[in-house]
Structure 1
Amino acid sequence: MARASVEPISWSALPCWWSAERWLAHVVAVYRRGYLLTRPQLVAATGGGVSLRAVHAVATAHARAGDYRTGRCSRPLLGVTGGTTGITATTQLGKRTVTRARTWLRLVGLATEVAPGRHRSFIERLASWERGDTRRGWTAEYALHPSPRFPDPAPDPVPIPVDNPGRVIAGQTVRGTPPRSGSSSPERSDGNVVTSTPNQPSTPAARDEDGAARRATTPGHAQDDFGGSEGSRTPATALMLDWRASERCPRWARQYGAHRWSGALSAAAAAGWTARDLNQLLTDLTTTGHQILTAPRRPISYLCHLLNLVDINERPTAIPDAQATAELAARTARTTAQLNARDTHTAARHTAVAALTGPGRAAALTAAHTTATNAAHRRSEQEAADRLALAEHVQHRRGHQ
């Protein structure tokens, strides 16, 4: 099936996976660790929850459809319930269940919807029909990657080659990896990983997006997605990486490496800002009448200008976060009270059930039986006395007659 074109810049902030098997294992681990935390958001977005079996089945279908090297370009058909093609046919799940599983994968950061699905326009359908494609829409395109919200605390189960220390992600220079047979020039694997050749030095200097040279990777200090080593990552760089990984990040924020933005975001990072604060800043400025440019000529200077319009010590999401924290505390208190009441009721019920076969109940039953027997004996004696008195009365009346 044909697909809509996706600009290369849409992939710039997205990491790559190690392999489909490792990503699927990570999906199961994230579900067990974070499903209860993300279920309220999932219910608010889709109206219900989703099981681990359904999530694993949908994730498997996406992993099979994605690029085995990077996890990108995953665009399986959703299909129709009861049909013969699409995820609904391969997983035997309903359309709503598949939608909930996809939504949960996006909520926890295991998948990013790079291009949403949509119906084709009339002109696009005419162009497709000329090529023999009679389908009516474009399918959504996803990138599969590890979750930044729930990182795997377990040690890396995949052996890392000696010549390739650290993580291999988009834009990282890999040292010591030989090219394919017959190649004598630098080779790029799907636009993500650059390999070296025997004619190149062992530590080539990587180039930034605007041509500025940067320091090559060294053992134990693998470069991150946008330059800079993991060991020396600053709070401002981490803030920029989180912002660029969010879906609401504007395109002009992806033009330079994250280390280039550290000066503009150092004050915001020191004040505790997050990626949600930066996105909320743009929304607040738009609602107050400011016009947010879609393609500023100097993005870094433009971001500094936007930050100067507000008080850097007042985070835009501080009040919503406080309200969410208070609501979470209230829900936790209500849930705890309900659990305590349930435990108290269960203990009382077990005590009552145990008392049915205890010595106290046996003694009470014996006393009741004795009381009932004595009462019946007294009733029989009283009835006999009444009958005797009645007979004497009748005999006495007959004697007078």
Structure 2
Amino acid sequence: MFIDSARIYVEAGNGGNGAVSFHREKYIAAGGPDGGDGGKGGDVIFVADEGVRTLVDFRYKRKYKAESGQNGGSSNCTGRNGSDLIIKVPAGTIIKDEETGRILADLVKPGQKAVIAKGGKGGKGNQHFATSTRQVPNFAKAGDAGESRWIILELKLLADVGLIGYPNVGKSTILSMVTAARPKIANYHFTTLNPNLGVVSLGEGNSFVMADIPGLIEGAHEGVGLGINFLKHVERTKLLLHVIDIAAVEGRDPVQDFEVINGELKEYNPALAEKPQIIALNKSDITGAEENAKRFMEIIGNRGYKIFTISAATNKGLDELMRYIYEVLKDLPDVILTEDTDDEIVYTAKEEKPFEIRKEGDVYIVEGNWVRKLVGSTNFDNYESLQYFQRAIKRKGIVDELEKMGISEGDTVKMYDLEFDYVR
């Protein structure tokens, strides 16, 4: 089964907490602070792997978390960094932030990687807070939380040539005749429900990848038939092979078929209609095909398209068509959907506000990652640590903001697990 999209949650590791420790040694009763720093949390890194073909595994596991950094230790020992979490995806996977819709990475080539969630920094040990006036700092800093987000993975086929056209015009037959692929073939619409890939080999290492895209019909860009779920698969192809039922077996007009399909491409994405396109007039061995082909050439033949008359069922004209496609592909660049060209794409989340304050009844609630970290880092039983806390919230602007909101002496302030009465 071909799975081309998935929704998963990724969370980087938290940074380890800094340690509160003092040097202890025989005959040294009270040494200086020697609390080590916490280790950095692991990143969540996506890597394009040529051994992975689909996103099917992400249907069964939805949450991924990197290892957190270890806490600091005594004797200035720094905690071990958390291991990065490496997630392998097929080449051609686009990674989007679910909340904003922003493309975080477009992993086109095998080996290309992207850091999607960065691990938190480790907290500082108490050795960093010793001063000439504060020689016994009894507090340290907590590590930062790792980034986390819901993301959308979207796989678009990496094929050189995309077979397009109405259902039942012979696309699957062409693919089966020129490659080792064995797509399901039958005489009814939408036989191909999933894109099929095949390698066309012309000998001596000359080959290219062809994709049999599910049949398009009028209204596909609005979701009619198989709709836009499969229209997107042609975006990465370098070249389109437009297959026409020139015998009009189902009673449609071949010229109108051509116009409708190109109209659908343009409506979905105007750039698709500008892709190099070769026309294959299939089923040319059936009665009525010759007359239709003559009319088609009169109307479409002067528009600059290269047109081949073939019969996929009897293998007529396929070799010539494939060799022509190969020569054209030599001069066409790879298709990349975003402008990112670096091998490693690092996404940094937008800087968030250090705190937010809201009032619930008579209680002022102060929240935010910075606030959570400060509260977790403070030893409220230690006078110097408490002073540090008071200076930090004033310097950050929390006190000024509370006063703007009309706080009075004696009102209650809540910061996560900490509650205290406000005193001017």
Interval of TM-score (by shorter of Structure 1 and Structure 2): under 0.3
- Structure with the bigger RCO (C-alpha within 8 Å, sep 6+) is 2
TM-score, normalised via structure 1 length: 0.21
Which structure dedicates a bigger proportion of its chain to strand?
A: 2
Larger radius of gyration: 1
TM-score, normalised via structure 2 length: 0.20
